[in-house]
Chain A
C-alpha cells in the first residue's frame, strides 16, 4: 500500500538502500522484496562486486525479479544465477554472526509498526482495552535475524503515523533500548521510507534526508512521534545516471502482483 499524495519512486528507495551495502558483505531480506533485490543488484554492479545476496534460501549473483516460486511465471530465471541452495533450517546459522559462514551481515526488515527506537512489530495491534485487536501475520523470519545480524536497515514504503508510532504494541525485532536491556548493544542503523531516510542518535530516530518529492513538514505530519530533526536536512540524492543504468539492466521492470509492498 502506498501513502496518499505522490507515489514514492521505488527506484529512489532501491538506490538509497544500495548505497548502504558494502563490498564483501552478505545482505538478507524477505522473499517478496523485489525492490530490495534491485538494490542489491545495483550495489553489486556499481560498488560491491563481492556482495552476496541471501534471498530466501539461496545466494545469488544477480536478481531474479518475480521468481516462479511466488508468481505465475512458469519459467524460472534462476538457472545460471544461483550459486548455492540450502535447506530452510540453515537460517539457524545466524546464531553466531561472527562466523565466516554467517547467514548475513545486513538484514533489511519492515513492520506493521516501527517505533522511535527502531523496534518493529509484525505480531499485532492492540485495541483500547489492551488486548490484540488486529492480528498481524507473525514475526516470520525477522526476530532472530534482526536481533543477531550485524547491521539492520528498516525499510518501509509506507510512511504514516499509523506505522511510525511512539512505542510498538509488540516487539518482533528489538530496537536500541530493548537491545541494551537484553545485553545486545547497538541497534538499527537506518530507516528508509517513501518520504525520507532516518538514522539514529543515541537510540532515537533522527531525520537524515528528505526525498525530493517530500518535505520536513510532511515527514513530521506522518510520523507518530517526535522525530529528531537537525538544523539542516538535505534532500536525498536522486538516482544517478549509473544507478539508473544499473536499474534498467534488470528486467522485467515491475512487480507482477499488485497491491502489495516490498518488505522483509
Chain B
C-alpha cells in the first residue's frame, strides 16, 4: 500500500518521461529532415559538379564556374539565383596545386565552387556518410581536371529547440573529373583528322591493311583495333566518284580491323601467341552519314565506297562514330597551351597548328614545362645556330661519305645534306644527341645511311627546320633511296612547315624509327607541322614504334610485297595505303595516345 507522498513521484516520473520521449521524438524528426536535406543537396552537388566539369572539359574555367552555379540554381527551388560575377576568378591559368574557390550565399545555402581541386584539398575526402578516406590515384586525374561543388545548408530546428538545438547545418560536396578522352583507355591504331573531305582512308592496289587487335598488358587480353575517320564527308559530298570517307579502290585491296575473337562480325580467326584474334572484330568508324555502309560490297556514301572485288569491302563495315575524335589529346599531352579556344564541329578544321585559335579546346594545362613542342620550336626555329649547338656546314662539305659525329647537339647548316656513305650522330651512350637539319637531307648510299643514336635511358631529338619556320614549298625533304638505311633510335622527330619525308622502299634498305620511352616526348616518334604529303614505304626491314603525328598532311604508305608490322599509332590528316604488301598496324598499348575525343565527366568523390 502506497503512502500518499508517493503520488508525487509518479507525476515527476511521467513529466520526466514525457520530456525525454518528446525530446527524443523532436530530435528524431528534425534529424530526419536534415538527412533529407542532405540527400537532396547531394543530388544537387552531383549534377552541378558534373555540369561544371563538362564545361571545363569543353570550355573555359569561367564557364565551369558559371555552369556549376547555374545547375545549383536550376535544381534548388529555394535559390532564386547565384551571382556568377566572381567566376572571373577562374579566367587565369590553372595550377594543379593551388585551389581556387568562389563562394556565394543564398538564404540558408552556402554554395562553394572549387577548381582546381588539389590532391590534399578537403574535398578529396569522401563526404558520404560512413565512407572512408580513399587515396588519390590515377583515376582521379590532375587537380586541374577536377571540379568541386560544396553546399552547406542551415535548417532552423522545428522541434529540437526544446533540446537547445536551434540550427541544424549539413554540408555535402561532390568532386567531378573532367575527362577529354572519353575514358575507354584503348589506343586508336589509325586516326584521320580531316573533318569534311573524302578518302580519309584510301586503300588502293592490292594492299592488305590490317588494323590489328591490341594486347592490354594489364588484363592480358586483346582489345579491338580501331581505325577512325573524323570526316562527315560533305566537302565535297563524297560518292562513288570522289570516293567515300572510307574508300576501297583496289579490286583486291583489304582493309580489316581485328579484335577479340567471338564477335558477331567475325569472318575468321587466327592465333597470336596463346590468344585467338577475331578477324573483322575491330572497328572502322566515321561520323559520316551512311554508316553502317558497304555491307556486301555495296555503296553507302558518303561514309563508304568499296572497290570491285568480293573481299575488298571494309571488314567490318564502318560503324557510327558519335563525334569527331580530334587531335586534342595529342596537343594536351605534348603541347598543352594556355588560352585554347573552343572549336565547334561546324568550323573548318585547323590549317595551322601553331595558331592558337585553330587548335582544339582542351582543359587547362597542368604538365610541367608545357607547352613542350612550342618551347622546342621557339628554341630551335631561329635562322642561325641554336644556342648550345655545334655548327656543321660550309666550309665543311655538305656531301658526306662516312662520318661519325660525337654525342651532343649538332646543327647541320646545309641547304642539302647528302649522305653517300654512313653518317652517324651520337653513340647511344649517356649523353643525348640532338640534331637540327636546316634544309634537305638526301640519303642515297646503297647499304649505308643516316643514323641518329640515342638510348632508352637518354632519348634525343631530330629537328627538320625546312630553312625556317616561315618557309613555304618543300625546303626540307628527307629522302631515302630503296637501298639506304634510316635509323632514329629513341628520338623524337619534328618536321616544320616546309618539310616532308619521301622514303623509298624498293630495295634492301631498312627503316628503324623508335620513339623515346621517357621524358617530355615520351612515345612521340614524329610531330609534323607540314601539309605536304608524307611518303612512307615498306622497307625490307621496318621497325616503327610510337606516335606518328602529321595532323595536316596526308600520310601515304606503299607496300613492297612483303609483310610489314609496325608498332605505331598513326594520326594524320588522311591515310592512303597502297602497293602490294601487307601492313599490320599494331600500336603498343602503353606507347600510344589514348583515344581522344568525347569530353566527359566522372564523379570521383
The reply to whether chain A is a binding partner of chain B is no
